[in-house]
Amino acid sequence: MTHQDKPVIGISCGDINGIGLELIIRAFSDSRMMDLCTPVVFASSKVVNFYKKTVADSNINYQNIKDFTKLNPKQVNLFNCWEEEIAVAPGQLTDEAGKYAALSLQTAVAALKQQQIDGLVTAPIHKKNIQSPEFSFTGHTPYLRAMFEVPDVVMMLCAGNFRVALVTEHIPVGEIARHITKEAILSKLQLLNQSLQRDFGIDTPRIAVLGLNPHAGDEGLIGNEEETIIRPAIREAKNKNILAVGPYSADAFFARRHFEKFDAVLAMYHDQGLIPFKALASGEGVNYTAGLPVVRTSPDHGTAFDIAGKGKADISSFLTAIFECIDIIRRRGQYVENRKNPMKKVNPEVFERLEDEAI
């Protein structure tokens, strides 16, 4: 990392007709944020000024930059990604808004690759209007995976010590089962385990794995993926010194708050993990992309077109995403320092004790 004491945090503006710019303005109207990081917002001064007028008590001070050697650590730095006038229509789904959301993200990721910023917080995009020949991804996570050329990443939602990761992300429900393979589960478990150690400072992470079917298949009565795919993946993960336990029946697992005994939960698909997460995390969840060589967080909500431009957006999740980005950058630095003491092999009795405790 290049700025250990006070990291440079890039912020992409998201859909210009959504709540992203309002969140950015409200978050950085508090000058204390500049004590924690040096923010760089990727947008345009014209769009920022439009939203400044919609935010009551806006107190954001920024300087325009085109050169990362001219960063001011005491105020917001606005990197103008475009100069032209564009129509801002809060709450409207337009192709133009998607085009500039992509431009903000692409410019920010280029800066991240060149280590001009230390981490990235992404404001929400809309998956439909951002599609173009230059951007054909279902969201931030697959785009970042492609840009950093890594074989796999994990979408993980975090709220304090409550973390839910996904095997599959934004795919139709009818296609989920064929994407649940032993190889996919094992890859996600390895990345999740590594991220919990490196990014969250947990020496021996405890990971719960959910089943795919209702009641985790009821021993083959309601589907057999648990027996033929998920259990073998968990067994192989244990052989690789990963403290993974399951598969658990998803409904009972969350209803009985078993997640409190684990450092992370691996869900098989989007709604299985994210509905309970969002219900239980009370608005302060953060989306984190584990498995990248860089740090990227985002709030756990969307563009919220219904309240865009009305000054009503809740900044809790966005603020937490900024704080988490800063914290993960610091923890990664500490992890590198501590690598001289590699993790000891987990005693098999620990697996058995955890399984007994968690059920």
User: Are the C-beta atoms of 334 and 328 separated by less than 8 Å?
Assistant: no
CA distance 204 to 263: 9
User: Which listed CATH number (3.40.718.10, 3.50.50.60, 3.40.50.620, 3.40.190.80) goes with 152-291+315-359?
Assistant: 3.40.718.10
Please name the helix (run of DSSP H) or strand (run of DSSP E) that holds residue 71, with its range, or none.
none
What pLDDT is attached to residue 1?
41
Q: Helix (H, G, I), strand (E, B), or coil: what is residue 168?
A: coil
| CA 265/CA 260 separation, integer angstroms | 10
**Can you give the pLDDT at residue 347?**
63
The answer as to CATH 3.40.718.10 being correct for domain 1-150+293-313 is yes
Residue ranges, comma separated, of all CATH 3.40.718.10 domains in the chain are 1-150+293-313, 152-291+315-359
> CA-CA distances (angstroms) from residue 237 to 193, 208, 212, 276?
10, 12, 18, 25
* Residue 7: φ, ψ to 5°: -65, 150
Cβ density class 247-262: b for 16+ within 10 Å, e for less: bbbbeebbeeebbeeb
Give DSSP secondary structure letters for 182-248: HHHHHHHHHHHHHHHHHTT--SS-EEEEE-SSGGGGGTTTT-SHIIIIIHHHHHHHHHTT-EEEEEE
**Residue 202 burial by CB count (10 A; 0-12/13-18/19+): exposed, middle or buried?**
middle
Quick one: tokens of 7?
A: 């990291």
| Inter-residue contact 249 to 147 (CB < 8 Å) | no
Could you tell me which residues come within 8 angstroms of residue 239 by beta carbon, excluding any fewer than 6 positions away? none
For residues 1 and 332, what is the distance between their CA atoms, to the nearest angstrom? 9
Using alpha carbons, list the distances in angstroms from residue 349 to 72, 245, 346, 354.
53, 13, 8, 9
Q: Per-residue confidence of the chain (359 residues) as pLDDT tens digits?
A: 455 579 999 999 999 999 999 999 999 999 999 999 999 999 999 999 999 988 888 889 899 998 899 999 999 999 999 999 998 999 999 999 999 999 999 999 999 999 999 999 999 999 899 998 888 998 899 999 999 999 999 999 999 999 999 999 989 999 999 999 999 999 999 999 999 999 999 999 999 999 999 998 788 888 899 999 999 999 999 999 999 999 999 999 999 999 999 999 999 999 999 999 999 987 789 999 999 999 999 998 999 999 999 888 999 999 999 999 999 999 999 887 776 555 556 666 666 666 666 55
